[in-house]
Amino acid sequence: MMRMKVFVIAALAFASLVSFISAIHGSEPHLSSFFEDNALLSSLSTQQPSQSQPLMVPITVINGAAAKGAVCLDGTSPGYHFHPGSGSGANSWLIHLEGGGWCNTIRNCVFRKTTRRGSFKFMEKTLPFTGILSNKPEENPDFFNWNRVKLRYCDGASFTGDGENEANQLQFRGQKIWLAAIEELMSKGMQKANQALLSGCSAGGLASIIHCDEFGSMFPKSTKVKCLSDAGFFLDAVDVSGGHTLRNMFGGVVTLQEVQKNLPKSCLNQMDPTSCFFPQNLIQHVQTPLFLLNAAYDAWQVQESLAPRSADPSGSWKDCKTNHAKCNSSQIQFLQDFRNQMLNDIKGFSGSSATGLFINSCFAHCQSERQDTWFADDSPLINDMPVAIAVGDWFFDRKTIKAIDCAYPCDTTCHNLVFK
């Protein structure tokens, strides 16, 4: 029996993040960047350090991006990290969209310009390629020798915005960034791909759903194209006060950044634009094969959608949302209802043989980028199957993958996140 792994965020790192986010007013989600920051997510763990150092990949500025209007919030050119494929993977491409929350008001978009989520100036110029981006077969058995790309996220609307705010010198150009990046990668050999996978984590996981069919349409029918959304299945859920915190936030993003221009017309014909930014209303419109990888008790959604400070002014959820072991029975039931809503929302989607699912009953967020949750000796499992094997089996049509975990607390392989 595998022991449950608990991942603890260093108190100092958390404290610095809180002061960092305090510039954004309290009614708005205050930990978005925190949850998207893998460096912080894995800052302290019970796992032994890896013997091998991860591949460090330098950033590339998208050539001619500014001339195309494909710029970050502050007007700087966006970038990506690219490691070329080799051998049997030389004509296979993996495009991974970075996550990092959203900005839904002028105020927090202006603040975001001063971070790596809104400006090239503040981005790390090299990044480690781990998990699904690793170049080692023992860490990434199916995609290690593919052409692997991580597209940096600096627009604040899941690569879908298309507008500007001149008064505050804000550029909402996520759609143009997406198109400019894909155009450049096509010129670097992706147009000759025999297979391609569009993936993304969190806000990038939402983007991989929104852009999935568009990505597929860029290749000839003979190219095998699929999409993977990791921690991107954000639910239009009721929070602990009976309100709709995430719907209100998404409404701000969609309106401010004119996202409706780039949402599926088939959805907009039936629903309002904010509803069409929620994956539960998008997945039925996606024709390209799509895999949903999500924790049933997604740590970001528990903190920021279900029990944010604005919905819990008395702090009765404070202990529970930072450590699930401290939840009382009624709080656990609320979280079980959230899981049930997720499972209900994917019922129709799961009926197609082309789709894939890995919904584990963990308090986690983004499991494809981190080596310990993607593929390691003690990775999370469903029916003895780790995430990497599930995704690989699905992509290569080796098996039909519809992996749905039993409800908490039955899974002892989780790498649960605990916050101090």
DSSP assignment of 5-41, as one string? EEEEE-HHHHHHHHHHHTTS-TTS-S-HHHHH-HHHH
Residue 241 among the catalytic residues: no
How far is it, in rounded angstroms, from Cα 79 to Cα 89?
A: 23
Beta strands in 29-151 (DSSP E): 55-61, 79-83, 92-97, 126-129, 147-151
How far is it, in rounded angstroms, from Cα 207 to Cα 157?
A: 9
- The catalytically annotated residue of 32, 134, 202, 208 is 202
- Residue 131 backbone class (left: φ over 0; alpha: ψ -120 to 50; beta: rest): left
- The catalytically annotated residue of 155, 298, 345, 372 is 298
How far is it, in rounded angstroms, from Cα 261 to Cα 279?
A: 17
How far is it, in rounded angstroms, from Cα 12 to Cα 401?
A: 40
For residue 166, the 8-state DSSP code is G
Contact of 412 with 380, CB cutoff 8 Å: no
Q: Encoding tokens for residue 67?
A: 């001339």
- The catalytically annotated residue of 81, 83, 324, 365 is 365
Beta strands in 39-194 (DSSP E): 55-61, 79-83, 92-97, 126-129, 147-151, 163-165, 170-172
Residue 285 among the catalytic residues: no
Q: How far is CA 116 from CA 74, 124, 218, 380, 384, in A?
A: 11, 8, 29, 30, 38
Residue pointed to by tokens 């400006």: 119
Q: Encoding tokens for residue 122?
A: 């503040």
Beta strands in 116-180 (DSSP E): 126-129, 147-151, 163-165, 170-172
Amino acid (one-letter) located at 238: V
Residue 202 among the catalytic residues: yes
Residues forming the active site = 202, 298, 365
